[in-house]
Structure 1
């Protein structure tokens, strides 16, 4: 990963969307970049809501709330700069005082992280993964798998003609390394580990060049009272311009 290119990409994206500096809480909790002087050491962090039966959430650091809009299921708080060191993250239902989860994460200088909120609400967890990829090209993207379905069991993924794209077995809460994938339209199928049952499929999905993706298997195989059944989501982490 080229950290400088990634940093420039995120800064342009956040400035265009007016997210980075749009609230006092965010300015106090994440890094301020209006000061023309030397900036403190920082890491980039994104937070993904993968709790199928979980409510919309507010996110707090030690200094206050950092998200302007509630974080809803299958969406993410975009990459932002955070001070390095031990950082406390607290998650509450939107506009509520009770805490669903409080965790501490160590962030290192010039590193990029994804934090995934996973499991069912009664057993909610936050899993931190360091994001490391090769730079995508005009012909190749980068992609990884995140298995976030707590009741789907071990799975395997078929992408196009490659029956075991991420290996023969993907366990719950497995996060693969990024690997290259050719651009173009392709199919994605999710099977049980032994291949006896197709759990879900997408017949045509567009993989674009110069991009980094996370392929997320999320939701519940047996949703019961949940409105979030097993599904596939292709999330873009980075675009190289």
Structure 2
């Protein structure tokens, strides 16, 4: 009899445990998020990034969270619960309560995916651009893409040394290309090109050299102004590259 009672109690506890387990909310997945400030108006200044109105970190111009991005820098992804968020940029990080909200967007981050948010502006009109980033490795090829954050640069396209990257179509301001596969190279010239409107001649807007390694994914960011309104040479056209993976 005692054995029967013990078995009944054990079965009841097991049933309660299973019921409680089924009622527990599912653990959210994790996404990877990087935030980049591509607004030249933030040269020598800091802006605060908010996630659902809570501080996520500050960014100066050409900063992805681990410092200034040069010709060849690695990504800085933060792990974040998957789901929907409001992301905003403030015009100051010194006194958040007094800072003005420059731009805000809603993003949905999926489990296991990588994303970058870019702040961009055109003469004081700010926007947030969201991209899903490629991190799948091809052991024989490099993956590259171009992000156009230069408000007055016009339409541009890409050459590696002298070879046209035909799969990256001409881009205008706010444009983002798909990732395309290219052959690895020790240190090719990354040339951002444009056509002169008056003569139709091809001209180089920006040129950088850095290695393209097989199995890596790269985002090339065209940033700054051809003609900064305040004449500040630190805001002129430049090219930064982030190694996404």
Asked whether the two chains share a fold, i.e. TM above 0.5, the reply is yes
SS at the partner of 2:145?
Answer: strand
In 1, Cα distance between equivalents of 2:240 and 2:207: 11
Q: Gaps spanning 5+ residues in structure 2: where?
A: 1-25, 66-75
Number of aligned positions between the proteins: 197
Pairing 1:179-190 to 2, within 5 Å after superposition:
179-183=180-184, 184-190=186-192
Q: TM-score, normalising length from structure 1?
A: 0.74
Find the partner of 2:138 among 124, 136, 139.
136
Q: Gaps spanning 5+ residues in structure 1: where?
A: 1-37
Find the partner of 1:235 among 217, 223, 242.
242
Cα deviation digits, residues 102-136 of structure 1 (max 9, x gap) = 22212222222111111236211111111235413
Find the partner of 2:28 among 25, 40, 57.
40
Give the conservation status (yes or no) of the 8 Å contact 1:156–1:166: no
Find the partner of 1:74 among 45, 55, 62.
62
Match of 2:151 in 1: 150
In 2, Cα distance between equivalents of 1:206 and 1:167: 19
Pairing 1:75-114 to 2, within 5 Å after superposition:
75-77=63-65, 78-92=76-90, 93-97=92-96, 98=99, 99-114=101-116
Find the partner of 2:125 among 98, 103, 123.
123
SS at the partner of 1:53?
Answer: helix
CA displacement at 1:164 relative to structure 2: 3.8
SS at the partner of 1:220?
Answer: coil
In 2, Cα distance between equivalents of 1:223 and 1:121: 9
